[in-house]
Chains A and B, each alone.
Chain A
Amino acid sequence: MTSAPAAAAQGGTAAAGTRSLRRNYARHYYGFIVPAAVVVLAVIIFPWIFTLYMSVHDWKIGGARTYVGLANYIQLFSDERFGWSIVRTLWFTLLAVAAPMVLGVIAAICFHRRFPLRGMARTIFILPMMATPVAVALVWTMMFHPQLGVLNYILTSLGLPPSSWVYDASTVIPTLVLVETWHWTPLVMLIVLGGLASLPTDPYEAAKIDGANAWQAFRHITLPLLMPFIVVSLIIRTIDALKVFDTIFVITQGGPGTASETINIFLYLQAFAFYQMGYASAVVVVFFAIIILLAIALLWTRARARIS
């Protein structure tokens, strides 16, 4: 996992040739890492340690801080609302990974072909992922208005029933997934597109000689070769979907009721609406553990994908 996928593919041979030389110099390179290490220590590691420390304290802003041991964690595991926020986060993540993955792979295959105005189309396609999430979320909110929104107008003009979008407990998660898909399908597309560009051509020629049709070639050659890239984008998507905050916060604030209250929103409420800093820190620790577990599971999948 030290290398990005394409670099690993290219860098492998160069690395082999210089291994002995590198070994002689390796420790000299510590100097390069020191400044970054200091920054990482201050702005990344320090907060981690501090969060662990706070998570074993009862501390409400404006009040005193007392050591409570594991009480916050015990309370957290019996907190039904927190439990549901985990379930909701996982459900949201599953959808917000699956939809961009499928669309992203399809888009990559389209953009891999040559066609007129391809560059322009590709640029337009990647714009959503660069757009400021807060700004776009506000525009989506206006589009979702059940009585006056443009989306319901489009649905009814097409003869479809109007939707309540984010204003109904049963449709809020799929609607937020829609926004998320709009935003991040381009990222999947770009990573997979990079994969397509690096594919060797020989297997296809062999397949052609063997009389394989396009679908068979895709199914048995392209897809397996693309697997590492698909898995990388899968990992990135999963981590990002777990962490989504801006979009949900701006559009629903976790509502209606708690229908879109993910772990991140629950965390925000505890920390910045209820000012329960100790309890919120325990949420961070558990959240972090969940992300790590999922990341490890995915890395394991990736390792398996590589072997096969």
Chain B
Amino acid sequence: MAIKRRTLLTASLATPAIVESVGAQQPFDWRRFRGQKIEVTLTANPRSQLLIQHQKEFEELTGIRVGSESVPEQQHRQKVVIEFASGRPSFDVVGISLHVSKRLIGRARWTTDLRPLIADPTMTSPDFAFDDFGQGAVAYSTQSDGRLDTLPEFTDYHIIYWNKELFEAKGVAYPRTLEEIYTAAKALTDPSKNQYGWVGRGLKNANITLWAAFLIGTKQRDAVSSDMKLLTDTDDAVWASELYTKLMRECAPPGSIGFNWNECQTTFGQGRAAMWLDGVGFAAPLEDPTKSRISGKVGYGVAPPGPASHHCGMYGSALGIPEASRNRGPAWFYAQWATNKTNQLRYLTNGAGSPARQSPFRNEEAISSSRFPRAFFDCLIESGRIAHPGLPEIIPVTEFRDTLGVALTNMIGGADIRAELRKATDAFRPVLEKSEQA
């Protein structure tokens, strides 16, 4: 069956010009680059761990040797940019956080356009099935000039983890609007018992994702307009900041102004907070009884609608192949293997995050035999329908997160919301304008 389809594909795509080239006469062969060696650098997360863990499969399939590493997020982004800028990156495949580095990488044309490779039947396995990748994910990986310079790997939705036991004990219902998150959290907060209705990222830079989760429910939705104007001191921005500030001041445990995802996770996982808004990748540790005290009690909630729109923040990562790499062929083989149906299903069933492909979500058998509750998968599918990029697609994303993040922590500390937003907007506007000119 596979062979038949392959020959069919080759035949249908083989125009006379291609037939004359050497490569096109051979059908696709996984062993084509055997004996070669590639370097893979990924962000340290459970997905990369799965890829590294199963890397032998790829090496046995192709005879290509892989040196792979996973490096903590921030450090990885910085390392990748510096190496790209030097013109001689040490890696052949690189994991890219689209929500941070998409424009930077696209503008500098650091990674190669994958469309010609996907179209080349000698280079792309017939069972690759590019149309299996979700439309949103593909759009996220596509640059404004139409180049697909990364291969979608993972889409991250911001969902609300909620502690069913705490909700039931107080007779509180899951919030139906963004505003209701506050009323519910308020009702669930009891500092004398060390119980809090809410926990979320307060550390500057990281906190922007929460703010974005609220802004996304307003009329304006985005922090930067499509013509690259900064919209961070508008009424909608003030509304999002107010909601964020109220939650963090009145419903979150002490110290959460300095919390990143890991402190949030320990606090929520120990049953001290009733709600936690963050990415989808935390189900695995929360359902693991050796790491969490609330396994089996976790609810997975889709972000509720805001006053004007209903979305959830979307983030994502993808695999890129440096234009400067000398091993682009084997690197592309790796990218195909890493995002194949088996690996993408592994992401889903291991609770490591939502895959960029759609087929895993349709795999009823795998889903029902997974150790995660049905509600988790429903939440992912539902979130996928309303996903919208959580961060603006600009070049200086880190500065944006940093400048606004500091404003948000100042607000939690009691500073005037409108004044802080105006100050941050004024500080960041020249940075944004300069980055668009260059």
Bound CA–CA A164/B257 (angstroms)? 10
A61 within 8 A of B: yes
Within 8 A of B (CB), among A13-63: 60-63
With beta carbons under 8 angstroms apart, the residue of B82, B108, B254, B438 that contacts A168 is B254
Decide if A274 touches B255 in the complex (CB within 8 Å). no
Q: How far is the CB of A57 from chain B (nearest CB, A)?
A: 14
Stretch at the interface among A98-106, A188-196, A250-258, A300-308: A250-258
Which residues of A are found within 8 Å of B172, using beta-carbon distances?
none
Within 8 A of A (CB), among B33-80: 74, 78
Chain B contacts to A: CB under 8 angstroms: 74, 78, 81-82, 84-85, 104, 107-108, 194, 202-204, 253-259, 263, 266-267, 270, 272, 396, 398-399, 402, 405-406, 409-410, 413, 438
Decide if A258 touches B253 in the complex (CB within 8 Å). no
Bound CA–CA A62/B256 (angstroms)? 36
Decide if A257 touches B259 in the complex (CB within 8 Å). no
A131 within 8 A of B: no
12 contacts between A and B (CB under 8 A): A61-B81, A61-B85, A62-B84, A62-B107, A62-B108, A64-B438, A166-B258, A167-B263, A172-B258, A257-B410, A273-B398, A274-B399
Chain A contacts to B: CB under 8 angstroms: 60-64, 81, 145-148, 162, 164-169, 172, 252-258, 269, 272-275
Decide if B409 touches A273 in the complex (CB within 8 Å). no
Decide if B258 touches A147 in the complex (CB within 8 Å). no
Q: How far is the CB of B435 from chain A (nearest CB, A)?
A: 8
Q: How far is the CB of B257 from chain A (nearest CB, A)?
A: 4
Which residues of B are found within 8 Å of A60, using beta-carbon distances?
438
Bound CA–CA A148/B82 (angstroms)? 37
Q: How far is the CB of A260 from chain B (nearest CB, A)?
A: 9
Bound CA–CA A15/B261 (angstroms)? 62
Interface pairs A-B: 8 shortest CB-CB? A167-B255, A257-B409, A146-B255, A167-B258, A256-B258, A164-B255, A256-B257, A61-B85
In the complex with contacts A146-B255, A147-B194, A273-B402, A256-B82 CB distance below 8 A: no
Which residues of B are found within 8 Å of A164, using beta-carbon distances?
254-255, 258
Decide if A148 touches B81 in the complex (CB within 8 Å). no
With beta carbons under 8 angstroms apart, the residue of A63, A165, A269 that contacts B255 is A165
Decide if A148 touches B266 in the complex (CB within 8 Å). yes
In the complex with contacts A62-B108, A168-B258, A147-B204 CB distance below 8 A: no
Decide if B266 touches A253 in the complex (CB within 8 Å). no
Residue of B nearest to A171 (CB): B255
Decide if B204 touches A256 in the complex (CB within 8 Å). yes
Decide if A169 touches B413 in the complex (CB within 8 Å). yes
In the complex with contacts A62-B84, A172-B258, A148-B267 CB distance below 8 A: yes
Bound CA–CA A269/B272 (angstroms)? 33
Decide if B257 touches A168 in the complex (CB within 8 Å). yes
Decide if B255 touches A273 in the complex (CB within 8 Å). no
Decide if A147 touches B409 in the complex (CB within 8 Å). no
Which residues of B are found within 8 Å of A148, using beta-carbon distances?
266-267, 270
Which residues of B are found within 8 Å of A147, using beta-carbon distances?
194, 253, 255, 266-267, 270, 272
